[in-house]
A and B are shown apart, each in its own frame.
Chain A
Amino acid sequence: MARAGRIEISEQVQGETVTLSIEGELDLSTIPMVERQVDASVGGSEASELNLDLSDVSFMDSSGLRLLIELCKRAQQEGWRISLTAPRHEAATLVLRMTGADTALPFVQAPPP
């Protein structure tokens, strides 16, 4: 299935903070797009903080979660800060609650119960 239209990423830069707002479904097929965008935003730029705004992510599966964990790990290794804005949709928060990621990952506001 062509998934090109299933995700949209917008970038906002404020000082050293880059905010990537993701809209759509975060799964195996859309992850590469997010990875590329993160590389473009963080790699080689002046940005020292990345905020991934997941408010409008409508679905997330285990591979989407794995991406978040990987990015947090990478931020630690490469010396930049990362923060996550929690999704509002149940289909996206479920995997976070199920795996304990809601408390373990640096969410700036806790996802709704």
Chain B
Amino acid sequence: MIVLVSADVTELILDRAHSAVISMDEHGVVSYWNPSAERTFGIPSEQAVGRTVAELIVPERLRTAHIAGLGRFLAEGKGRILDQRIELDALRADGSEFPVEVTVSALHGDDGWSFHAFVLDVSERRAAEQEREQLTEELRAALRGAQRRFDAIVGSLSDPVTIRSRDHRFVYANGAALDYLGFDSWERLRETPPSAIMNDYEVRGEDGREIAMDDIPSVRILRGEPAPPLLIRTVHRLSGEERWNLLKAAPLLDEQGEPEATIMIIEDVTVLRRAQLRSSFLAQAAETLASSLDYEQTLHNVAQLAVPRIADWCAVDLLDEDGDRRTVALAHMDPQQLAVAQELHAHLPERVDPTQALGRVLRTGESVLHPRIDDEMLVRTARDERHLQLLRALRLRSVLIVPMRLGARILGALTFGAESARLLDRHDVELAEQVAARAATAIENARLYSERSAIARTLQRSLLPERLPEMPGYELASMYVPARETSMVGGDFYDVWPLADAWMVAIGDMAGKGIEAAALTALVRHTLRAASEFDSSPAKLLALVDTTLKKRAQLSVCTALCLRVQAETVTMAVGGHPLPLCCSASGVRPLGGYGPLLGAFPDARWQEFSVRLRAGSSLVAYTDGVTDAQDAQERRFGAARLRDALAAHAGDSAAALMDGLAGALDAFQSGAHADDTAVLALRRSGGLGGEGEAPPARTLAHAPTIGSAA
């Protein structure tokens, strides 16, 4: 700003100046008032000159200060407002006030002091400034509001939320995040690099593989990669606490669209995940346990079930009849540690010791959990030096022992051990107990089944000859296939035995199944054998069996075909049984005639039939398991297919005939045999009894594989 002294030339310039220019003498009286001043203040020059500035343009409230200031300058020669730009309020002719920017200079001349002011109306500028200030304030308020809302929303979220900058520092964490990460103040977390926090945990993915910092979604986003949510299992290395977290991250982009930070939400899904794992685990456990009735396999399955889903290793201990314990199965994640665990369990006494944890569980049926095991505890527990060595070698941190019980009966116990970062806790107890309950049932079932199967096999063997004898003049072949229900003893039987002057052949089917039917079958077979020593008439033998069966309280019925073979003559009686078939070059035809079922009807009588078998002809006796066999369309094998199968092999040896029939049955039948199937073939090899060498007898047992009994 330039200050001009009055001069003719300059007055001309001043008259045209944009600013208002006002001069006044030391009394405050206006001596010059330019046209711009006229416009600014609405006062013509001729009205202004000669009047005081104070009355013309100084608002009333400022007049005293104005006059006092002028007086002070004249007295002391110093002015506070001179030669600087100051803002003041000024008065217009119409009485309105407006802001002005004023620069005042003082000059001393012949007439004493004069003052010259440049005055600029700044109302527009002031208005613009005010508007800007107001806008700024509004923006600040909006920002504060956004910050408050962000804090209110994110801060009150129960899920931990963190924001991480591009240089991998936390720039924000809500209260939940502080709690979750174990920090008592934001300042401490801010100073801790995320990698240091991660080192405190063992972090694994859903599939068990280790998760590195680079896999974390927020880090991937900062690298510019897509980052789908990541489910992780963390185990705090110090506390052993296990958690399942779902990590979700989103980028915070800068103006260039580059991620400058990422916001990450850590969802704690521990409860949900555990429930999920538990139900899927129990479902899988049920399936695994149901998959086998084999005793040893079941024990092995039980041990394998828990590793590594519940624990790092699992031992199955069972109590025997004497109340002693025995480790029957052991599984370990680490094959090398398996040997240690095995030796440890072998080191435990067989006698149940209630002062030991395992012994206490086996005795009381109550679970025992040691969530944290330290060395002092190992020393206290160890029975001897070796035991301590083993305990230490296993690096045990947690042990959980749960009983396997059926009602009040304690079958044994499952021991779960954790040695890695994770510890076992009360959640595991509940799950382990449920597994143990299922395991107990499976083990008991397998035990009963294996006992029953053993009994069934023993009984079955007693119903059939161990091998077919050599019958002079005849070739023998047989086939026996038990019903698919392997633990059930079938009711079919056959037998071939010699008498002094003849050979006896019997085949039959005891109605019913299981051990009771098997016992009756044995009764029938032995009755026939014993009675034949006194009277070998087939009809009389059937009558005797009929009488024997009728004496029983329970309805006991049986089909039987009894043959007496004397050289080429075959005498037979049929009790409710399919008629035997004669296979010769001229075809296949049934022999004899039906007689009543044994043990069923009063006043039953049996007829005897005699036939002569030509050399090369075969007699085939069978049970209804053959004709009743079904194919995939539930059609029966039936008599016609049986005749066709035999006719195709009519000229063959007994063994070949049997092979042919077995092949036809196998080809027809779908799946296992629903019923027992027994077939016995006698082929007259030619010549009279004793003459010529008959080939060894053959048995087809347990088709579909055909084996020789010899």
Asked, given contacts A97-B594, A99-B596, whether A28 binds B576 with beta carbons under 8 Å apart, the answer is: no
Asked whether any CB of chain A lies closer than 8 Å to the CB of B183, the reply is no
Say which one of A32-40, A60-68, A78-86 lies at the interface with B. Answer: A60-68
- Contact flags A69-109 to B (C-beta < 8 A → 1, else 0): 11001000000000000000001000101111100100000
Q: Which residue of A lies closest to B670 (CB)?
A: A1
- Contact flags A25-49 to B (C-beta < 8 A → 1, else 0): 0011100000000000000000000
Asked, given contacts A62-B624, A66-B555, A70-B555, whether A100 binds B576 with beta carbons under 8 Å apart, the answer is: yes
* Complex alpha-carbon distance, A65 and B597, angstroms: 10
> Which B593-612 residues have a C-beta within 8 angstroms of A?
594-597, 600-602, 604
* Complex alpha-carbon distance, A6 and B483, angstroms: 20
Q: Which residue of A lies closest to B623 (CB)?
A: A62
Asked whether any CB of chain A lies closer than 8 Å to the CB of B636, the reply is yes
Asked, given contacts A28-B675, A61-B624, A62-B559, whether A101 binds B597 with beta carbons under 8 Å apart, the answer is: yes
Q: Assess the A98–B594 pair: CB atoms within 8 A.
A: yes
Asked, given contacts A100-B604, A104-B600, whether A91 binds B559 with beta carbons under 8 Å apart, the answer is: no
Task: Tell me which of A27, A91, A99 has the highest count of chain B C-beta atoms within 10 A of its own C-beta.
Answer: A99
Asked, given contacts A63-B511, A100-B604, whether A69 binds B555 with beta carbons under 8 Å apart, the answer is: yes
* Complex alpha-carbon distance, A1 and B673, angstroms: 11
Q: Assess the B512–A104 pair: CB atoms within 8 A.
A: no
Q: Assess the A98–B600 pair: CB atoms within 8 A.
A: no
Q: Chain A: how many interface residues by the 8 Å CB criterion?
A: 21
* Complex alpha-carbon distance, A59 and B630, angstroms: 12
Q: Assess the B555–A91 pair: CB atoms within 8 A.
A: no
- Contact flags B533-559 to A (C-beta < 8 A → 1, else 0): 000000000000000000000010101
Asked, given contacts A97-B594, A100-B604, whether A61 binds B628 with beta carbons under 8 Å apart, the answer is: yes
The listed residue (A27, A59, A99) touching B597 by CB distance below 8 A is: A99
Complex interface: chain B residues within 8 A of A66 (CB): 511-512, 555, 557
* Complex alpha-carbon distance, A91 and B640, angstroms: 12
- Contact flags B227-271 to A (C-beta < 8 A → 1, else 0): 000000000000000000000000000000000000000000000
Complex interface: chain B residues within 8 A of A59 (CB): 636
Q: Chain B: how many interface residues by the 8 Å CB criterion?
A: 25
- Least distance between B328 CB and chain A CB atoms (Å): 36
Asked whether any CB of chain A lies closer than 8 Å to the CB of B577, the reply is yes
Q: Assess the B511–A62 pair: CB atoms within 8 A.
A: yes
Task: Tell me which of B511, B594, B602, B628 has the highest count of chain A C-beta atoms within 10 A of its own C-beta.
Answer: B511
The listed residue (B555, B577, B638, B675) touching A98 by CB distance below 8 A is: B577
The listed residue (A29, A61, A69, A98) touching B557 by CB distance below 8 A is: A69
* Complex alpha-carbon distance, A69 and B576, angstroms: 13
- Least distance between A35 CB and chain B CB atoms (Å): 13
* Complex alpha-carbon distance, A19 and B671, angstroms: 37
Q: Assess the B594–A99 pair: CB atoms within 8 A.
A: yes
Complex interface: chain B residues within 8 A of A69 (CB): 555, 557, 597, 600-601
Asked, given contacts A104-B600, A104-B601, whether A98 binds B576 with beta carbons under 8 Å apart, the answer is: yes
* Complex alpha-carbon distance, A104 and B600, angstroms: 9
Complex interface: chain B residues within 8 A of A62 (CB): 509, 511, 559, 576, 624
* Complex alpha-carbon distance, A73 and B556, angstroms: 12
- Contact flags B481-494 to A (C-beta < 8 A → 1, else 0): 00000000000000
* Complex alpha-carbon distance, A99 and B604, angstroms: 11
Asked whether any CB of chain A lies closer than 8 Å to the CB of B578, the reply is yes
- Least distance between B484 CB and chain A CB atoms (Å): 10
Complex interface: chain B residues within 8 A of A63 (CB): 511-512
Complex interface: chain B residues within 8 A of A104 (CB): 596, 600-602, 604
* Complex alpha-carbon distance, A39 and B405, angstroms: 38
- Least distance between A2 CB and chain B CB atoms (Å): 12
- Least distance between B521 CB and chain A CB atoms (Å): 13
Q: Which residue of B lies closest to A95 (CB)?
A: B624
Q: Assess the B559–A99 pair: CB atoms within 8 A.
A: yes
Complex interface: chain A residues within 8 A of B597 (CB): 65, 69, 99-101
Asked, given contacts A28-B675, A66-B555, A98-B577, whether A91 binds B636 with beta carbons under 8 Å apart, the answer is: yes
* Complex alpha-carbon distance, A31 and B131, angstroms: 98
The listed residue (A28, A61, A73, A101) touching B555 by CB distance below 8 A is: A73
Instruction: List 7 additional contacts besides A1-B674, A69-B557, A104-B604; criterion CB under 8 Å.
Output: A1-B671, A28-B675, A62-B559, A98-B578, A99-B559, A100-B597, A100-B604
A-B CB contact pairs (8 Å), 15 listed: A27-B628, A62-B509, A62-B511, A62-B559, A63-B511, A69-B601, A91-B638, A98-B576, A98-B594, A99-B594, A99-B597, A100-B596, A101-B576, A101-B596, A104-B596
Which 9 A/B pairs are nearest by Cβ-Cβ distance? A100-B596, A99-B576, A104-B601, A99-B597, A66-B511, A98-B594, A69-B600, A70-B555, A62-B511
